[in-house]
Amino acid sequence: MNKATSEPWRVGVLFSQSGHMSVIEETQLRGTLLAIDEINSSGGLNGRELMPIIYDPASDNTLFRLYAKKLMTEDGVSSIFGCYTSSSRKVVLPIVERLNGLLWYPTLYEGFEYSPNVIYTGSAPNQNSLALCEYLVSNLGRRFYFVGSDYIYPRETNRIMREMLRGAEVVGESYVSLRAQRKDFLPIIRDMQRTRPDVIFSTVVGDSTVHLYQSYSDAGFDPKTLPIASLTTTEAEIRAMGFDVGEGHITAASYFQNIDSASNASFVSRFKKRFGADEPTNMCVEAAYFQVHFFARALVMTNSMETNLLRPVVLGSEFEAPQGKVAINASCSHADLWSCIGRANRAGQFDIVARSKAAVAADPYLTCSGRNAHFL
Ligand code: ACM
């Protein structure tokens, strides 16, 4: 094998290992590295190793922009695995579009976006919000209180949820800074006590999640009767807030560690072996993991990192992920994903209370306005 053919394939990895978003983004880094390790230990791709070029954007969008540009202009990278917040994706987007790269984005988001330079592997609103809305209205009631971090994802998600609620009442809507501390939630908790909703819908992300749930617990709310429902509170945030604080709260997600299948059990065991027995998996780990495998399969076929060659091979491809079989929907570059509702238990895991019968086709622009026919 000559030198040119044995050189590693260089890929960019951009997840925060510090700052207020690291509680979840670090887990996405781990999912990415697990997949890369697996690929390299089984001989690489067409005989060449995958080499991650990893930067820590430290929960700072300016650094996301700077490192994305550096990866593509100085480090010889065309595919980047990265971004959790929609605001970080929005700053990386013009860079990958201008330089014709490919951003692999493993995070649920607000939808209403399409770029030929992004593969979206987290849930769109028709795959999580819709299921959650149906479940909450059927099981808890029609008076909602919205609490979110103040940036595009929560504001857009609440706009969509308000539309999905069709006549149910939103009794309050409050936003806090992405760096919100415990004290910042106190007026909101008082507002919740005053307005007496049936359900709290949280789009708070990162470290602030811990402060919200802890303040809620301190105020004496009982999650058994008035849970916080979320699309972003995973096993990672529950672990950070304490299992006792998290118990009883509800999340809708494409994946939970608790999914009962042989392939998920094997995934969880490989993850724990690599990162520690106490490290849970979560929906963001899983998407970060399986998207590397989508990339790898396509690369074996193209034997080229060229976005124009790779992308058409990725579109329409399928993968047996830990959540079940998933596909990259060729019509919109978003993944068709499963839809689950989980309720956190005492052990920091989610008991799955509802699950789709198959992967739900991604519909990021909510063009199918009907109810989610796949949902149990
Ligand atoms: C998000 O900002 N997409 C969670």
pLDDT digits over 336-365, tens only? 999 999 999 999 999 999 999 999 999 999
Ligand 1 atom 3 nearest Cα: 109
What is the domain class of 125-258+339-355 according to CATH? alpha beta
Q: Position of tokens 């990725």?
A: 314
Going by the DSSP 8-state scheme, the letter that residue 226 receives in this structure is S
Q: Counting atoms of ligand 1 from 1, which one is nearest the CA of 151?
A: 2
The secondary structure of 71-107 as a DSSP string is HHHTS---EEEE--SHHHHHHHHHHHHHTT-EEEE-S
User: Of all atoms in ligand 1, which is nearest to the CA of residue 109?
Assistant: 3
Radius of gyration of the chain (CA): 20
CATH topology for 3-123+260-336 is Rossmann fold (3.40.50)
The yes-or-no answer to whether 3-123+260-336 and 125-258+339-355 have a common fold is yes
Confidence of residue 369 (pLDDT cuts 50, 70, 90): low
Position 4 scores a pLDDT of 54
pLDDT of 277 higher than 60: yes
- CA distances to 202, 205, 292, 352, 356 from 176, rounded to whole Å, are 11, 10, 34, 30, 33
How far, in Å, is the centroid of ligand 1 from the Cα of 251?
14
Ligand 1 atom having least distance to the Cα of 122: 3
- Asked if 114 and 143 touch (Cβ cutoff 8 Å), the reply is no
Q: Report the alpha-carbon distance of residue 71 to residue 52 in Å, rounded.
A: 11
- Rounded to an integer, what distance in angstroms lies between the CA atom of residue 162 and that of residue 275? 39
Largest CA distance in the chain: 72
Atom of ligand 1 nearest to the CA of 205: 4
Closest by CA to 310, choosing from 325, 300, 320, is: 300
Q: 109 C-alpha to center of ligand 1: Å? A: 5
d(CA 137, CA 370): 16
Domain regions of the chain by residue span: 3-123+260-336, 125-258+339-355
Order of strands, sheet of 250-253, starting from the edge strand that comes earlier in the sequence: 169-176, 143-149, 199-203, 228-230, 250-253, 340-344, 350-355
* Number of residues assigned to the chain: 376
pLDDT (average), residues 277-283: 97
Instruction: Tell how far the Cα of 84 is from the centroid of ligand 1, in angstroms.
Output: 6
The whole-number pLDDT of residue 1 equals 38
Is 339 in contact with 372 (CB distance < 8 Å)? yes
Residue in 15, 27, 86 to alter for ligand 1 test, most ligand atoms within 8 A of Cβ: 86
In this structure, the residue with its CA closest to atom 1 of ligand 1 is: 85
The verdict on pTM exceeding 0.95 is yes
The per-residue pLDDT for 214 is 98
pLDDT given at position 41: 97
Protein residue with its CA nearest to atom 2 in ligand 1: 85
Q: How much distance in Å is there from the Cα of 87 to the middle of ligand 1? A: 8
* Amino acid letter for position 348: G
Q: What is the pLDDT of residues 24-46, one digit of tens each?
A: 999 999 999 999 999 999 999 99
For residue 166, the model assigns a pLDDT of 84
Write the pLDDT tens digit of every residue in 32-83.
999 999 999 999 999 999 999 999 999 999 999 999 999 999 999 999 999 9
Ligand 1: centre distance to CA 304 (Å): 30
The span from the CA of 291 to the CA of 39, in Å, is: 12
Q: Given CA atoms 109, 112, 113, 119 in this order, what sign does their dihedral have? A: positive
Residue 26 CA to ligand 1 centre (angstroms) = 15
Percent of the chain with pLDDT over 90: 95
C-alpha dist (Å) from residue 200 to 14, 134, 145: 32, 14, 5
366, 111 Cβ separation under 8 angstroms: yes
Q: Mean pLDDT, to the nearest integer, of 223-247?
A: 98
Specify the 3-state DSSP secondary structure of 131. Answer: helix
Which protein residues touch ligand 1 with a CB less than 6 Å away? Answer: 85-86, 107-109, 153, 205, 232
The DSSP element (H or E) to which 182 belongs, if any, is: helix 182-195
**Which token pair is 252?**
């809708």
At residue 373, does pLDDT exceed 50? no
